[in-house]
């Protein structure tokens, strides 16, 4: 098993050198005391926690999985202890307001920390990640009383949270939702129904579990417009605010999955469970989107994290393992073979992984800063950030998770047959990575959201603003990056126009283009970050002999030369249109199956 | 779990309608009695065996894996019984000569049958697959005496075979090989050493296990030129030719792997084990290549098989599961949602999988016919087939396995979150598929073989002949396929010339292009098959209302419009060259790791 190392140098490059964290924090009055030094101190400690506490339990979690018996879930050895250390270290409430016991730090800092945690142990990090989403939703939409009752414990981490959307009869399609909530006449509701795929729905790490549950009131209109959001605790708070009486919500079973085995994925049965309405009746989906949008950025970051794990493993093996000889001549005559790193194709795999790990990292933490602006900025900053987040979140979620799986698979490939056995952790990384294009909305759902809800409906307004933002950065960008990126911007705009025009007469043209379009967009957005990083690193390399900068330039060049060209094929595929997809009717597909 | 169905209709289309199996069999005097009807009868039975005997044990194999204790391996419930049924059914010796108890059928027929078996249960099918390779090697290179002693039982299947190449210190690089063989002075040798990653190295399905082992004689030159091949049985044959005295070869452990858990992957310890030389001393690699070339085509077919399994699963789910509404308007007003198949992106995923499943099938069975010609043809046929096989085997192995993994991953994606849980078999299919780009030479090794040994060294002679063969088929091809394929042929030739020219001054240019070039080549070769299949099906559709033909045309169009464009990006990436890969020195990579 490769020893995980927190990538602090690169995180600092992204946050401080590329994204000017100090300048960013100073935009917000409430963060006047936040600065790079403070962030650095937190980063160091988070790195230690990830390396020393979380990473050592990662394989345990995979091999032992979770134990289920009569509604009780026992997590793998070390998970509970790691969670207690997480509470004790004060990691849970980093970005929560002080009034609930939090440390009042920016969300963007949470994201930096959670990158490290999910690299070290994706399965374990699911629980704190969901708790954070639960807290954000309560902060934004719950009554002051519910906030007082629940947010202190959720901030401390002694209570954890979940998101209960999916039901057996429908996954992404919430119009199927059957779970019912009936008014008890005392400000509480009786919630009844079955939810599936509930991450951390039941476990032994926290004292209480707070479920956010989508359900229908008796008078609810049909479809997705009749869904309300309820808070349903595992234990009802007692007079002292501690976990008291057991509520009638219980795990029915856990799933046997491909990966993230350390995270219990539960079927949850609500049987007249006592719950409390969050926000307005029938406006539950709106509230849940607070959760969902944060979760999508978190999932995007998981994708980037799987690339980082693959990078560390592949680099270590390529520099340790000896096989064959360099084609250009023996490199290590004293050894019976040269190291794997001499082979161009091994380097190509490693640089592909690195391009995604580091490029996606920059993209993700850029989004983290936008989240800060969306919450704490002035009106103009809020609107700007909200618009960009709406556009970029589906791109980030889809692209970073798809390329996370590719990276994880290449991580195995660098190891040859050794990558297929458990010992080195590369196959676990791939199995763990595979969930990320599925949950929080599949890539196909992100793609429809991007093209059908974000790019096309406003006549390309938001999209055009983003293009201008990129274009504005080109004059300061090194021409080796600015020239191809400028050309891609034009191409992207034309491509978008073309899809828009065709979709006017046939909406299937939009849907048939959507996933290719999402990936195309991802490659261009990440090219923007690589162009800026390459330019910055080239300038710094002139005044520093730190290898880090030269490597950054080389990777930027690699990305532009060998990965950005993937856009060309995606464009060709998009422009070929929907006809070959729609040539057979549904019934004909049915007959084909026989 | 989806019920596996043998894809007999498509196999018949490929073998009979596209590849004219009757005409093919008639080329060989010894197959004068072989015809399509006989092949069909065998196919029917093989389909039943795959569906009824092998497929039901597939999940068992995955979940139970293999049990190892003190050198003894116990396979999963049902594996041993399935193997006995395989022997009883006479499946083992299908293509073996009658003198050894075989049925003297063409190798191409073996390949058709093994496609079905590896679709139904990849892990189980490993053992018969290796036995077939072992038999071919003995047939081609072993003494008459060794053949008499071993081939009868191996043909019957009561004895199984292995291939023992890899050692702990070196994977693909055989120059590391340390296993020793010392002449016992009685026509036998004492073989000592450790081999790893030995599939079916030890198990309970056959009465004896015949290992083909690469080892060095004491006077062997260093490197790969000093390697000899030995036959080392688990049990030495007794006076009656049955398994007798236990030889000193023993399994030391089995690997814990990502997939194909039903197949035991063993560490094998040879401790002065009695063995017999196959072929000439120091010429072992040459003999082993008989095994390896067959194994590579078999592995290519495994890739195609994982696409088929994904196709069946994805089709079934997309036609059963309801979610969302067609964007063009409600399709099933009586239901609360439409079926998944209405969504263009779901169709895109399914047609991508289908393109690979069916296109790669055609490619694989074309190779199967070449194998027949290479073994049984006249001198000219042999030379032609050998040249084509040399060129196409690495393309087939690399392309079909890479696209097999992509298909398996898309198979999960169509299911959404349900694809990630074990129940539906899609995640097992992906885990099982992931081995295929690693064993029998990684994709990178195939790519170097293709470009560095097959395409460039003879000045493009073999490659040029193949281009002419494709070009000769264009006049009969429907223009919608012939025009783009013709353009790709020119592009492929120019691309190849370009790499050749650059590689003259820097061999790293060849190596940096190799995997992209292999994939580019794969897309063009499969376009050749899709162009021919599409043309044929279009003609047949005019005289038949069988939906099969219209679906074939639609898939051919899909392949040309939405998948063949991937070549454009691969070309751009190749032409960008090696500079961004070689910008950092090995030492700088080392420092980066820290």
pLDDT for res A176: 79
Looking at every residue in chain A, the average pLDDT score rounds to 95
Asked whether B265 and B163 are in contact (CB, 8 A), the reply is no
- CATH of residue A308's domain is 1.20.140.10
User: Which uninterrupted H or E stretch holds B260?
Assistant: none
Tokens of A495: 């491509």
Is the pLDDT confidence value at B415 over 70? yes
- Alpha carbon distance, N-terminus to C-terminus of chain A: 47
User: Taking CB atoms and an 8 Å cut-off, how many pairs form between chains A and B?
Assistant: 299
Q: Which candidate in B5, B64, B410, B444 is best for mutational testing of the A interface (most A CBs within 10 A)?
A: B444
Distance CA A513, CA A585 (A): 19
Q: What is the pLDDT of residues B120-140, one digit of tens each?
A: 999 999 999 999 999 999 999
Q: With an 8 Å Cβ cutoff, are A258 and B347 in contact?
A: no
* Helix residue ranges, H only, A542-559: 547-558
User: Which uninterrupted H or E stretch holds A244?
Assistant: strand A243-246
- Minimal Cα–Cα distance from A492 to chain B, Å? 16
B126 occurs within a structural domain: yes
3-state secondary structure of B157: coil
3-state secondary structure of A223: helix
Which chain B residues have a beta carbon less than 8 Å from that of A418? 171
Query: Domain range spanning residue B179?
Result: 8-285
Distance CA B223, CA A164 (A): 61
Which chain B residues have a beta carbon less than 8 Å from that of A577? 561
Spatial neighbors of B418 by CB under 8 A, at least 6 apart, are: A171, B317, B424
pLDDT band at A337 (very low <50, low <70, confident <90, very high): confident
What φ, ψ does residue B267 adopt, rounded to 5°? -85, 125
pLDDT for res B1: 47
Is the pLDDT confidence value at B438 over 80? yes
**Contacts for A538-547: CB closer than 8 Å, 24+ residues apart:** A538/A478, A540/A17, A547/B588, A547/B591, A547/B592
Q: Please, what sign has the CA dihedral across residues B272, B277, B278, B280?
A: positive
B296 occurs within a structural domain: no
- Report the length, in residues, of chain B: 594
How many Cα atoms occupy the beta-carbon half-sphere of B103 within 13 Å?
18
- CATH of residue B17's domain is 2.40.110.20
- Minimal Cα–Cα distance from A357 to chain B, Å? 15
The DSSP-derived string for A170-197 is: BSS-GGG---EEEE-SSS-EEEEEEEEE
Asked whether A373 and A19 are in contact (CB, 8 A), the reply is no
Asked whether B231 and B150 are in contact (CB, 8 A), the reply is yes
Distance CA B188, CA A37 (A): 73
pLDDT for res A2: 53
- Report the length, in residues, of chain A: 594
Residue in this structure with the two tokens 């599949």, named with its chain if needed: A442
Distance CA B22, CA B13 (A): 13
What φ, ψ does residue B100 adopt, rounded to 5°? -105, 15
Number of structural domains in chain A: 1
Tokens of A563: 């990965």
Asked whether B311 and A594 are in contact (CB, 8 A), the reply is no
Query: Which of these three, B285, B318, B343, is where a domain ends?
Result: B285
Tokens of B192: 């000592």
What φ, ψ does residue A438 adopt, rounded to 5°? -105, -50
**β pairing state of B72-74 and B159-164:** unpaired
Which chain A residues have a beta carbon less than 8 Å from that of B567? 569
Distance CA A522, CA A397 (A): 10
A242 interfaces chain B, CB cutoff of 8 Å:
no
Q: What is the 8-class DSSP label of residue B235?
A: E
pLDDT for res B11: 97
User: In whole angstroms, what separates CA A532 from the centre of its chain?
Assistant: 23
B563 occurs within a structural domain: yes
Q: What is the pLDDT of residues B313-361, one digit of tens each?
A: 999 999 999 888 899 999 999 888 899 999 999 999 999 999 999 999 9
Distance CA B213, CA B191 (A): 9
Question: Where does residue A286 rank: exposed (0-12), middle (13-18), buried (19+ CB within 10 A)?
Answer: middle
A453 occurs within a structural domain: yes
Spatial neighbors of B249 by CB under 8 A, at least 6 apart, are: B191, B211, B232, B234, B268, B269, B270, B271, B273
- Minimal Cα–Cα distance from A468 to chain B, Å? 26
Q: What is the pLDDT of residues A261-284, one digit of tens each?
A: 999 999 999 999 999 999 999 999
Distance CA A411, CA A433 (A): 12
Is the pLDDT confidence value at B373 over 80? yes
pLDDT for res B172: 66
Tokens of B462: 């073999």
A112 occurs within a structural domain: no
pLDDT for res A172: 66
Is the pLDDT confidence value at A225 over 90? no
Q: Name the percent of chain A lying above pLDDT 70.
A: 99
pLDDT band at B175 (very low <50, low <70, confident <90, very high): confident
Looking at every residue in chain B, the average pLDDT score rounds to 95
Listed by number, the residues of chain B in 409-448 with a beta carbon closer than 8 Å to a beta carbon of chain A are 409, 412-413, 416-423, 427, 430-431, 434-435, 437-439, 442-444, 447-448
Q: Please, what sign has the CA dihedral across residues A10, A15, A17, A18?
A: positive
Q: What angle do CA B221, B224, B229 make, to 5 degrees?
A: 90
Query: Which of these three, B285, B312, B343, is where a domain ends?
Result: B285
The mean pLDDT of A80-89, rounded to a whole number, is 98
Which chain B residues have a beta carbon less than 8 Å from that of A593? 315-316, 319
The DSSP-derived string for A50-105 is: IIIIIGGGHHHHHHH--EEETTEEEPPTTHHHHHHHHHHTT-TTTTS-GGGT----
Is the pLDDT confidence value at B509 over 50? yes
Q: What is the pLDDT of residues B528-570, one digit of tens each?
A: 999 999 999 999 999 988 899 999 999 999 999 999 999 999 9
Is the pLDDT confidence value at A199 over 90? yes
User: Which uninterrupted H or E stretch holds B180?
Assistant: strand B180-183
pLDDT for res A171: 63
Distance CA B521, CA B574 (A): 12
A519 occurs within a structural domain: yes
- Residue that wins the pLDDT comparison between A193 and B173: A193
| Cβ atoms within 10 Å of B419's Cβ, excluding its own | 29
Q: With an 8 Å Cβ cutoff, are B257 and A427 in contact?
A: yes
The mean pLDDT of A114-141, rounded to a whole number, is 96
Is the pLDDT confidence value at A163 over 70? yes
Catalytic residues of A: 440
Q: Which candidate in B4, B267, B583 is best for mutational testing of the A interface (most A CBs within 10 A)?
A: B583
Q: What is the pLDDT of residues A493-505, one digit of tens each?
A: 999 999 999 999 9
Spatial neighbors of B61 by CB under 8 A, at least 6 apart, are: B75, B76, B79, B121, B123, B124, B261, B262, B263
String of b and e for A230-246 (b: at least 16 CB within 10 Å)?
bbbbbbbbeeeeebeee
Tokens of B235: 């049990």
The DSSP-derived string for B52-105 is: IIIGGGHHHHHHH--EEETTEEEPPTTHHHHHHHHHHTT-TTTTS-GGGT----
Asked whether B291 and B280 are in contact (CB, 8 A), the reply is no
Listed by number, the residues of chain A in 517-556 with a beta carbon closer than 8 Å to a beta carbon of chain B are 547-548, 550-551, 553-554
pLDDT band at A335 (very low <50, low <70, confident <90, very high): confident
Query: Which of these three, B285, B303, B319, is where a domain ends?
Result: B285
Q: With an 8 Å Cβ cutoff, are B442 and A413 in contact?
A: yes
Residue in this structure with the two tokens 């065996």, named with its chain if needed: B49
Q: What is the pLDDT of residues A298-325, one digit of tens each?
A: 999 999 999 999 999 999 999 999 888 8
B143 interfaces chain A, CB cutoff of 8 Å:
no
A324 interfaces chain B, CB cutoff of 8 Å:
yes
Query: Which of B192, B391, B174, B179 shows the shortest CA–CA distance to B273?
Result: B192
User: Which uninterrupted H or E stretch holds B276?
Assistant: strand B265-278
Nearest by CB to A573, which of B319, B418, B562?
B562
Out of B440, B493, B546, B587, pick the active-site residue.
B440
3-state secondary structure of A158: coil
B364 occurs within a structural domain: no
A576 interfaces chain B, CB cutoff of 8 Å:
yes
B171 interfaces chain A, CB cutoff of 8 Å:
yes
Is the pLDDT confidence value at A339 over 50? yes
Which chain B residues have a beta carbon less than 8 Å from that of A452? 327
Q: With an 8 Å Cβ cutoff, are B592 and A548 in contact?
A: yes
Spatial neighbors of A518 by CB under 8 A, at least 6 apart, are: A394, A395, A398, A399, A443, A446, A447, A450, A451
| Cβ atoms within 10 Å of B554's Cβ, excluding its own | 21
3-state secondary structure of B441: coil
Distance CA A286, CA A289 (A): 5
B498 occurs within a structural domain: yes
pLDDT for res B90: 95
B319 interfaces chain A, CB cutoff of 8 Å:
yes
Distance CA B432, CA A25 (A): 48
Helix, strand and coil content of chain B, in percent to the nearest 5, comes to 60, 15, 25
């Amino acid at each position: 098993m490769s020893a995980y190392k927190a990538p602090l140098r690169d995180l600092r490059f992204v946050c401080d050198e590329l994204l000017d964290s100090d300048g960013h924090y100073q935009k917000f009055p409430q963060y006047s005391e936040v600065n790079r030094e403070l962030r650095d101190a937190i980063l160091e400690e988070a790195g230690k926690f990830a390396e020393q506490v979380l990473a050592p339990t990662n394989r345990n979690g995979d091999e032992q999985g979770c134990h289920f018996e009569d509604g009780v879930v026992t997590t793998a050895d070390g998970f509970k202890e790691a969670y207690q250390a997480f509470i004790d270290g004060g990691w849970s409430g980093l970005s929560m307001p002080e009034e609930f016991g939090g440390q009042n730090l920016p969300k963007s800092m949470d994201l930096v920390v959670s990158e490290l945690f999910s690299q070290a142990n994706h399965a374990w990090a699911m629980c704190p990640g969901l708790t954070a989403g639960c807290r954000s939703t309560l902060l934004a939409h719950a009554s002051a009383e519910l906030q007082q009752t629940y947010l202190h414990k959720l901030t401390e981490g002694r209570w954890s949270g979940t998101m209960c959307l999916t039901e057996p009869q429908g996954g992404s399609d919430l119009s199927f939702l059957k779970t019912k909530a009936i008014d008890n006449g005392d400000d509480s509701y009786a919630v009844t129904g079955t939810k599936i795929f509930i991450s951390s729905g039941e476990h032994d790490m926290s004292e209480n579990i707070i479920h956010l549950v989508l359900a229908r009131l008796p008078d609810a209109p049909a479809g997705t417009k009749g869904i309300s959001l309820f808070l349903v605790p595992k234990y009802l708070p007692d007079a002292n605010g501690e976990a008291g009486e057991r509520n009638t919500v219980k795990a029915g079973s856990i799933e046997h999955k491909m990966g993230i085995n350390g995270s219990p994925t539960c079927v949850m049965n609500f049987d007249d469970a006592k719950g409390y309405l969050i926000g307005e009746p029938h406006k539950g989906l709106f509230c849940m989107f607070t959760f969902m949008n944060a979760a999508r950025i978190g999932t995007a970051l998981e994708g980037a994290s799987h690339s980082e794990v693959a990078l560390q493993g592949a680099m270590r093996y390529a520099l340790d393992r000896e096989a064959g000889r360099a084609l250009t001549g023996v490199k290590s005559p004293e050894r019976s073979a040269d190291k794997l790193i001499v082979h161009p194709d091994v380097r190509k795999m490693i640089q592909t992984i690195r391009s995604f790990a580091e490029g996606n990292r920059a993209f993700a933490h850029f989004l983290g800063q936008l989240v800060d602006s969306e919450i704490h900025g002035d009106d103009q900053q809020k609107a700007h950030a909200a618009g960009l987040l709406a556009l970029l979140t589906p791109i980030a979620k889809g692209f970073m998770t798809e390329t996370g799986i590719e990276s994880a698979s290449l991580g195995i490939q660098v190891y040859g047959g050794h990558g297929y056995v458990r010992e080195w952790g590369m196959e676990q990384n791939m199995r763990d990575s595979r969930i990320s294009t599925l949950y929080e909305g599949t890539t196909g759902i992100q793609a429809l959201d991007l093209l059908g809800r974000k790019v096309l409906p406003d006549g390309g307004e938001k999209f055009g603003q983003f293009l201008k933002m990129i274009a504005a950065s080109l004059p300061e960008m090194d021409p080796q990056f600015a020239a191809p990126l400028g050309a891609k911007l034009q191409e992207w705009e034309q491509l978008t126009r073309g899809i828009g025009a065709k979709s006017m007469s046939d909406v299937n043209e939009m849907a048939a283009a959507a996933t290719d379009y999402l990936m195309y967009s991802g490659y261009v957005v990440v090219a923007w970050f690589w162009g800026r990083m390459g330019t910055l690193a080239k300038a710094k390399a002139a005044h520093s002999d730190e290898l880090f900068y030269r490597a950054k330039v080389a990777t930027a060049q690699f990305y532009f030369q060998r990965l950005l060209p993937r856009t060309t094929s995606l464009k060709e595929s998009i422009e070929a249109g929907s006809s070959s997809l729609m040539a057979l009717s549904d019934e004909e597909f049915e007959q084909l199956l026989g």
